[in-house]
Structures are given as C-alpha cells and as structure tokens.
Amino acid sequence: MTGGGDTAAEVLRLLERRGGTLAVAESLTGGLLAAELTAVPGASRSFRGSVTAYATALKHELLGVDGTLLAERGAVDAQVAREMAEGVRRRLGADWGAATTGVAGPDPQDGRPVGTVFVAVAGPGGFSEVAALLLAGDRTAIRRASVAAVLDLLLEQLQKASE
C-alpha cells in the first residue's frame, strides 16, 4: 500500500484533470478517509463530501443499502460495501463513490473477525469494484490501512478509466 496522503493527492489530481467528482461513505473509518482527502490543498475542486454511516441502519436510510441484505449478512459484507459506494455517489451527485466497511475491533462483528474489511469504488456507467481485506494490528492500524486500501483501489480504477 502506498502512503495515504500521496495517494489522496494523486486521486484528486486525476479527478480534477478530467473534471470528475468524488464522494465517500465510511463506516469503520469514521471520517478518516474524508479527512485524508480534505487535507490535500484544493480538494474542494473534486471532493463533494462524505457520509459517515457508522450505525447499520444509516447504511440503509442514508445510502440506500438493501435492508434485506443488511439483515441477512450484516454490515460487514462485500455487497454492502458496493452498495454504500454506489449510494453515496448517487446521493451526493458525484462521478465516483468510495466506501469502507469492516471490523476494526476490539470485538468481532456480524460473525466476522477483527480486521475483516471491505472497500469499494463505484464509477460512471454502473462500474464498481470491491476488495476484501484481512488486516492485522490494533484498531488504529486497521482503520488507517483501510483508508490506504480504498485510496489505492480508487487510484487504480481512475488510472484504468484514463487508459
């Protein structure tokens, strides 16, 4: 994984170059992704905003994640991450959406062990990509690694879209 700040700056540079916008939906990262992006000077040219849907119900209410999916699988799930990214993209009127959901600890959640994380990116034309991670470390390390992972995934997808 790359350094979060450098990757955030590169993501925003690519978005600005093509006139694109980004919105993010966060759960376990609790606003760290938005903070990483807004630490970059000029972020407002491409970054539209974020939704921190920490409570499972808010993933449905604010982001439009399927309620049955949440009831059956819980919030820590690949499809939930995908729907969060798609939902924030729609709700905030952005070209791209990114999302994080997972278990930072100290206890397991929804039958998933600590360190289980799903990050997702949704883009124009119904495109979406999800990465499943099993991260080690304490709560802080897992949250930071989740931010780095979603920024890496977003950068990779933006670069592919530029080809």
- Whether 104 and 143 have beta carbons less than 8 Å apart is answered as yes
Confidence of residue 4 (pLDDT cuts 50, 70, 90): low
Give 65's DSSP letter.
-
Both tokens of residue 113?
A: 């062990």
Stretch 100-121: mean pLDDT: 96
Q: Model pTM?
A: 0.96
Q: For residue range 124-157, list pLDDT tens digits in order.
A: 988 899 999 999 999 999 999 999 999 999 999 9
Q: Is 163 helix (H, G, I), strand (E, B) or coil?
A: coil
* Residue whose C-alpha is closest to residue 20's, from 92, 120, 94: 94
For 133, the enclosing helix (H) or strand (E) is strand 128-134
> Environment class of residue 106 by beta-carbon count within 10 Å: exposed (0-12), middle (13-18) or buried (19+)?
exposed
Please give the average per-residue pLDDT across 22-50, as a whole number.
Answer: 98
Q: Which CATH number is 74's domain given? A: 3.90.950.20
Domain, as residue range, for 58:
4-162
Q: What is the mean pLDDT of the chain?
A: 95
What is the rounded CA–CA span in Å between residue 72 and residue 1?
32
- Please give the Cα distance from 23 to 94 (Å, whole number): 6
What does the pLDDT read at residue 81?
A: 98
Task: State how many domains the chain has.
Answer: 1
How much is the pLDDT for 1?
37
Query: Is the pLDDT confidence value at 162 over 90?
Result: no
Sheet holding 96-102, edge to edge: 47-52, 22-26, 96-102, 116-122, 128-134
